[in-house]
C-alpha cells in the first residue's frame, strides 16, 4: 500500500511537472528564448516604436482640438480684424499646422521602427531556431533515421519547420507589436481625454464598460466553442486515420458504411456548434451598436458642458473621440 501510494505521488508529481513544462513551453519567454543582445536592442526599439504609434490618436486629437478652437474663435471675427497683419487667428493656425507636421514625423518614425525592428528580430530568431531544430534532428541515433527514413520523414521535417516558423513569425512581427500598440493607444487616448476635458472623461470613461464587457463575454464563448469544435474534428480525424491505416480490413469486412456513419455521427455536434458560433458572432457585431448610444450620451453631456460650464467645443469633441476610439 505504501509503495502504491508513493507511486501515485510520484505519478502526480510527474503529471504536475509535465503540466508546468507545457505551460512554460507555451509562454512568451520560450518564444523569445533564441534572442541575443542584438535582438533585445531591436525589440526595445520596436517597443518604443509601438508606443509612438499608439500615441498617434492622442497627439492628433490634442492638436486638432486647438485647430477647432481657433476656428470657433475666428468665427466671431469680422473681415477688418482678420485682414489685419499679425492676426492671432492665422498665427494659431500656423502653430497648429506645425504641430501636425511634428506629429507626422514622430508617428512616422515610430511606425518605421515598429515594422523594421520586429521584422528584423523575427528573421534573426527564426533563422537561429530553424538551425537548432535541424541540428536536433541530425543528432538523433542511427536507429531513428532507419525507422523514419524515406520521403515521409523528409516532408514531415520540412512541414514542421515551415509551420512552426510561420506561427512564430506571426507572433513576433504582428501579435506582439499590435498588442503593445493597442495598449499604448488605449492608455494615451484616455489620458488625452482627461487632459482635454476632465469632466467629460470622468463621466465618459466608465461607459466604455458597455463596449468592453460584451467583447470579453463573447470572446470567452467563442473560445469555448472553438475548443469543442477542435475536439470534435480531432475525433473525426482519428476515425479517418484509423480507416485509412486499416483500409484492407475495412474492405474485407464490408465496413465502409459503418465508418461513414461513425464519421457523420462525430461531426453532427459541430453543426450545432457552428450555428452557435454564428449567433454569437452576430451578437458581437450587433453589440457595436452600443457605440452610438455612448456617442449620444457623451454628445448630450458635452453640449451641457459647452453651454453651462463654458467648455470649448473643440476640446469636448476631441475628448469624445479619444474615449470612444481609444476604447475600441
Query: Which residues, other chains included, contact 26 with Cβ-Cβ below 8 Å and sequence gap of 6+?
Result: none
Assess contact for 189 and 57: CB atoms under 8 A.
yes
Q: How much is the pLDDT for 272?
A: 83
| CB of 317 closer than 8 Å to CB of 68 | yes
Range 28-188 has CATH code 2.40.50.140: no
DSSP structural state of residue 309: S
Q: Which candidate, 162, 174, 287, 265, places its Cα nearest to that of 221?
A: 287
pTM, full prediction: 0.69
pLDDT at 25 over 80: no
245-299 residue pLDDT tens: 777 777 777 777 877 888 788 777 888 888 888 888 888 777 777 888 888 888 8
Alpha carbon distance 323, 290 (integer Å): 14
Parse the chain into domains and list their residue ranges: 28-188, 198-310
Q: Please give the residue that has the higher pLDDT: either 156 or 170.
A: 170
Number of H helices, E strands in the chain: 15, 0
Residue 48 confidence (pLDDT): 92
Instruction: Report whether pLDDT(3) > 80.
Output: no
Which whole number is the average pLDDT over 130-136? 76
**pLDDT (0 to 100) of residue 15:** 42
Least reliable range by pLDDT among 129-143, 189-203, 222-236: 129-143
DSSP string, 166-204: HHHHHIIIIIHHHHHHHHHHHHHHHHHHHHH-HHHHHHH
What pLDDT does 79 receive? Answer: 47
Instruction: Enter the C-alpha cell of residue 183.
Output: 495598449
- Name the pLDDT band for 45 (thresholds 50, 70, 90): very high
Question: Does residue 165 carry a pLDDT above 70?
Answer: yes
Other residues' Cβ atoms within 10 Å of the Cβ of residue 207: 18
CA dist 201 and 27 (Å) reads 36
Percent of the chain past pLDDT 70, that is, above it, reads 76
> Are the C-beta atoms of residues 319 and 196 closer than 8 Å to each other?
yes
Tens of pLDDT along 172-199? 888 888 889 989 999 999 999 999 888 8
Percentage of residues in the chain having pLDDT higher than 90? 4
> Which pLDDT score, from 0 to 100, does residue 175 have?
83
Does the pLDDT value for residue 17 go beyond 50?
Answer: no
43 CB-near residues (< 8 Å, 6+ apart)? 32, 35, 117, 118, 121
> So what's the pLDDT on residue 147?
59
Residue pointed to by grid coordinates 489685419: 84
Say which residue, 250 or 67, is predicted with more confidence.
Answer: 67
Segment (H or E) for 34: none
Distances in Å between the alpha carbon of 79 and those of 83, 85, 94, 203, 232? 6, 12, 19, 40, 75
Binned at pLDDT 50, 70 and 90, residue 167 comes out as: confident
* More confident call, 76 vs 136: 136
Amino acid at each position: 500500500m505504501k509503495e502504491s501510494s508513493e507511486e501515485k505521488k510520484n505519478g502526480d508529481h510527474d503529471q504536475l511537472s509535465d503540466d508546468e513544462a507545457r505551460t512554460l513551453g507555451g509562454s512568451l519567454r520560450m518564444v523569445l528564448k533564441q534572442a541575443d543582445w542584438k535582438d533585445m536592442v531591436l525589440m526595445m526599439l520596436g517597443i518604443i516604436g509601438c508606443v509612438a504609434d499608439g500615441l498617434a490618436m492622442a497627439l492628433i486629437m490634442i492638436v486638432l482640438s486647438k485647430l477647432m478652437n481657433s476656428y470657433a474663435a475666428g468665427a466671431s471675427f469680422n473681415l477688418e480684424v482678420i485682414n489685419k497683419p499679425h492676426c492671432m487667428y492665422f498665427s494659431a493656425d500656423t502653430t497648429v499646422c506645425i504641430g501636425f507636421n511634428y506629429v507626422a514625423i514622430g508617428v512616422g518614425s515610430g511606425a518605421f521602427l515598429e515594422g523594421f525592428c520586429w521584422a528584423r528580430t523575427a528573421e534573426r530568431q527564426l533563422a537561429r531556431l530553424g538551425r537548432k531544430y535541424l541540428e536536433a534532428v541530425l543528432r538523433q541515433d542511427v536507429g531513428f533515421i532507419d525507422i523514419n527514413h524515406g520521403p515521409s520523414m523528409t516532408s514531415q521535417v520540412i512541414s514542421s519547420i515551415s509551420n512552426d516558423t510561420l506561427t512564430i513569425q506571426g507572433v513576433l512581427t504582428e501579435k506582439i507589436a499590435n498588442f503593445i500598440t493597442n495598449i499604448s493607444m488605449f492608455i494615451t487616448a484616455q489620458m488625452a481625454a482627461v487632459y482635454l476635458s476632465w469632466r467629460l472623461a470622468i463621466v465618459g470613461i466608465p461607459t466604455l464598460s458597455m463596449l468592453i464587457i460584451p467583447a470579453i463575454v463573447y470572446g470567452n464563448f467563442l473560445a469555448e466553442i472553438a475548443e469543442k469544435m477542435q475536439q470534435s474534428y480531432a475525433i473525426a480525424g482519428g476515425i479517418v486515420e484509423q480507416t485509412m491505416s486499416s483500409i484492407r480490413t475495412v474492405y474485407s469486412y464490408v465496413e465502409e458504411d459503418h465508418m461513414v456513419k461513425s464519421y457523420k455521427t462525430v461531426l453532427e455536434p459541430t453543426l450545432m456548434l457552428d450555428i452557435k458560433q454564428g449567433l454569437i458572432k452576430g451578437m458581437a457585431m450587433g453589440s457595436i451598436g452600443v457605440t452610438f448610444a455612448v456617442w449620444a450620451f457623451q454628445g448630450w453631456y458635452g453640449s451641457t458642458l459647452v453651454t453651462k460650464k463654458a467648455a470649448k467645443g473643440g476640446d469636448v469633441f476631441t475628448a469624445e473621440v479619444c474615449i470612444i476610439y481609444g476604447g475600441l
